[in-house]
């Protein structure tokens, strides 16, 4: 990414402004289009604006609040924010993204519904294609060479076409409702680590297919379902080893491992020492 142009340091103090106006961003009367590179390490408060916003996330993660809905954002996500839609970012972890902001007059009526918030996820390859277009757009606006305004508009159209095509690939749509259901299932599992569930049973709890459950889970947590559960079991065992006098076999059973030998093997793989040795560190 070319972060030298219009780079915005979001670590600075941010005024609690809830409304952003076009006049504050589009100083050039010939082009109501701008590119902003955002780096967040703190929350971005609830706000809205009188222009459209197309967001491309290329690093980190966070929680995006949009009206009454919330969804996790990671690298590869695209958000389309309608005019006057209140939104915010929370729980950010080195979140970096590009904002393409533009006036209502630049959005063709036939492209996408301008009133609907969109959350899509791209492959790494498709994300690179869009970021290349964004960098080209950024340079055009910065250099202001002859006919730059018209060329910049054409690049925006390219971006919007890519987004529209992505919408028609249903596998790229992010269902925020299924995300919430998957998260609820995981909270339940983490409260009942000694119990055992199949992937099919977990999927039924979330009212979705096993394939979709696994796909959404990997997107949210970066691990397979059972890798995550085992990590949570190991975390819980660490607390019990430190704070109780229970035997390793008792702890193993309590956190959901039927075979103490497998528990010890996995513990050593993660913690680089056996449970018994860890207790004496």
Which residues fall within 8 angstroms of residue 273, CB to CB, at 6 or more apart? 281
pLDDT tens digits, 223-272: 899 999 999 999 999 999 989 999 999 999 999 998 999 999 999 998 88
Could you tell me if 138 and 5 are in contact, meaning their C-beta atoms sit under 8 angstroms apart? yes
Q: Which long-range contacts (CB under 8 A, 24 or more apart) does 56-59 make?
A: 56/97, 56/98, 56/100, 56/127, 56/130, 56/131, 56/134, 57/95, 57/96, 57/97, 58/1, 58/96, 58/97, 58/98, 58/127, 58/131, 59/94, 59/95, 59/96, 59/97
Could you tell me if 80 and 117 are in contact, meaning their C-beta atoms sit under 8 angstroms apart? yes
**Model-level pTM?**
0.59
pLDDT tens digits, 111-163: 667 778 888 888 777 888 899 999 999 999 999 899 999 999 999 998 888 88
Which phi and psi (to 5°) does residue 99 adopt? -105, 120
Neighbours of 13 (CB within 10 A): 5
């Amino acid at each position: 990414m070319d972060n030298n142009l219009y780079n915005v340091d979001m670590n600075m103090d941010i005024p609690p402004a809830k409304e952003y106006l076009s006049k504050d961003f589009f100083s050039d009367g010939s082009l109501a289009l701008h590119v902003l590179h955002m780096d967040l390490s703190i929350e971005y408060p609830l706000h809205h604006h009188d222009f459209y916003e197309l967001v491309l996330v290329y690093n980190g993660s966070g929680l995006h609040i949009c009206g009454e809905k919330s969804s996790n954002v990671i690298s590869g996500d695209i958000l389309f924010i309608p005019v006057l839609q209140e939104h915010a970012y929370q729980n950010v972890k080195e979140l970096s993204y590009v904002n393409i902001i533009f006036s209502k007059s630049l959005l063709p009526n036939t492209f996408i519904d301008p009133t609907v918030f969109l959350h899509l996820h791209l492959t790494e390859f498709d994300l690179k294609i869009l970021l290349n277009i964004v960098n080209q757009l950024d340079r055009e606006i910065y250099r202001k060479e002859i006919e730059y305004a018209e060329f910049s508009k054409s690049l925006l159209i390219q971006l919007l076409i890519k987004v529209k095509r992505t919408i028609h690939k249903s596998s790229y749509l992010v269902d925020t409702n299924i995300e919430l259901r998957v998260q609820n299932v995981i909270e339940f599992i983490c409260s009942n680590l000694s119990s055992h569930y199949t992937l099919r049973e977990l999927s039924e709890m979330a009212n979705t297919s096993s394939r979709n459950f696994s796909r959404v889970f990997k997107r949210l947590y970066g691990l397979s379902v059972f890798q995550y559960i085992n990590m949570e079991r190991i975390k819980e065992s660490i607390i019990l080893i430190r704070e109780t006098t229970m035997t390793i076999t008792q702890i193993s059973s309590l956190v959901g491992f039927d075979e103490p030998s497998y528990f010890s093997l996995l513990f050593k793989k993660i913690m680089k020492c056996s449970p018994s040795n860890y207790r004496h560190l």
